[in-house]
């Protein structure tokens, strides 16, 4: 995240007005709130303004402020606080929001960003040459099971590979964005397991009538007992990973004594014990 400013005056449109449908919607939204509390509608109105124009213009900020009887600076505070509001023009056909948070990153979001950099623009929030595309890296969009993913307008495109994202970007660039099916881009139902369901399949009636499957002898051959793996254990010689090191968790008495000396974690609400 970086400092967010309004776009240059050269790209700012002179005026802003909600179209008829949005104006009616805005009026209804404002009326949801009690009299004197109209400014509660500032976020929905700004969002709708962004949906209408693609980004939040200076004129939109002032227009929304006037509609709600708010000082301009208060609306600017809101618009600059939430990164969901685009303060600079974004691609007219697609603004690709690539999730870069840990699950997506582990599943290859960095490759997706590389695709964006090569296909759209080297820097985020920059339009491509024809002005149709732009991209940014965003924080978690809540589709971690289907990582990595991108969000374009209100649709998410999940389980992406670099190649698939390229295709999607090309389709959007060609104006055929509506043809792309949102959701997982691989053979998968929503966030169900890859390769089909593993549980809650049609129950085998013969199986269910038998004694519990796990107890059956025949299974014992197949299911080999797997000892706990050391794969996740750190392989370093660093001091902190030494299991013999005394910590408050392993040496409770000593740490309690330390704490009492420093007086930092002692609960003063309890009567003090006599020192031993």
- Interface with another protein (CB under 8 A): 1-4, 6, 58, 70-74, 76-77, 80-81, 262-265, 267-269
Q: How far apart are CA 90 and CA 87, in angstroms?
A: 9
Q: How far apart are CA 117 and CA 169, in angstroms?
A: 12
Between 22 and 80, CB nearer to another protein: 80
Between 195 and 271, CB nearer to another protein: 271
Nearest approach, Cβ of residue 63 and another protein (Å) = 14
Nearest approach, Cβ of residue 82 and another protein (Å) = 8
Q: How far apart are CA 259 and CA 248, in angstroms?
A: 10
Annotate 68-103 with b (16+ C-beta within 10 A) or e (fewer).
bebeeeebbebbbeeeebbbbbbbebbbbbbbbbeb
Nearest approach, Cβ of residue 7 and another protein (Å) = 12
Nearest approach, Cβ of residue 62 and another protein (Å) = 9
Nearest approach, Cβ of residue 48 and another protein (Å) = 21
Between 2 and 15, CB nearer to another protein: 2
Q: How far apart are CA 251 and CA 226, in angstroms?
A: 32
Tell how far CA 167 is from the center of its chain. Answer: 23
Between 4 and 88, CB nearer to another protein: 4
Q: Which two tokens stand for residue 203?
A: 């129950």
Nearest approach, Cβ of residue 264 and another protein (Å) = 5
Neighbours of 183 (CB within 10 A): 17
Nearest approach, Cβ of residue 61 and another protein (Å) = 9
Neighbours of 126 (CB within 10 A): 15
Between 187 and 262, CB nearer to another protein: 262
Distances (CA, A) of 140 to 97, 147, 185, 250: 10, 10, 19, 36
Query: Which of 63, 60, 135, 58 is closest to 93 using CA atoms?
Result: 135
Q: How far apart are CA 177 and CA 132, in angstroms?
A: 12
Between 200 and 261, CB nearer to another protein: 261
Between 188 and 260, CB nearer to another protein: 260
């Amino acid at each position: 995240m970086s400092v967010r400013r309004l776009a240059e005056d050269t790209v700012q449109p002179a005026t802003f007005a909600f179209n008829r449908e949005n104006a009616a919607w805005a009026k209804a939204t404002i009326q949801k709130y009690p009299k004197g509390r109209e400014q509660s509608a500032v976020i929905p109105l700004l969002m709708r303004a962004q949906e209408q124009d693609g980004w939040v213009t200076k004129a939109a900020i002032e227009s929304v402020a006037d509609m709600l009887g708010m000082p301009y600076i208060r609306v600017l505070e809101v618009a600059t606080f939430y990164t969901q509001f685009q303060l600079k023009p974004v691609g007219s056909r697609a603004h690709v929001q690539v999730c870069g948070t840990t699950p997506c990153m582990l599943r290859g979001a960095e490759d997706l960003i590389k695709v964006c950099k090569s296909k759209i623009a080297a820097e985020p929030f920059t339009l491509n040459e024809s002005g149709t595309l732009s991209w940014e890296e965003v924080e978690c969009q809540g589709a971690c099971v289907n990582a990595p993913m991108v969000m374009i307008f209100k649709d998410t495109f999940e389980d992406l590979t670099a190649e698939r994202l390229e295709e999607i970007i090309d389709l959007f660039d060609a104006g055929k964005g509506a043809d792309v099916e949102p959701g997982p881009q691989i053979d998968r139902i929503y966030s169900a397991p890859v390769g089909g369901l593993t549980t809650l399949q049609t129950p085998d009636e013969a199986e269910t009538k038998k004694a519990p499957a796990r107890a059956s002898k025949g299974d014992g051959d197949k299911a080999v007992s797997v000892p706990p793996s050391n794969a996740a254990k750190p392989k370093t010689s660093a001091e902190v990973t030494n299991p013999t090191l005394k910590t408050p968790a392993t040496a409770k008495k000593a740490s309690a004594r330390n704490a009492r000396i420093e007086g930092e974690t002692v609960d003063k609400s309890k009567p003090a014990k006599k020192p031993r």
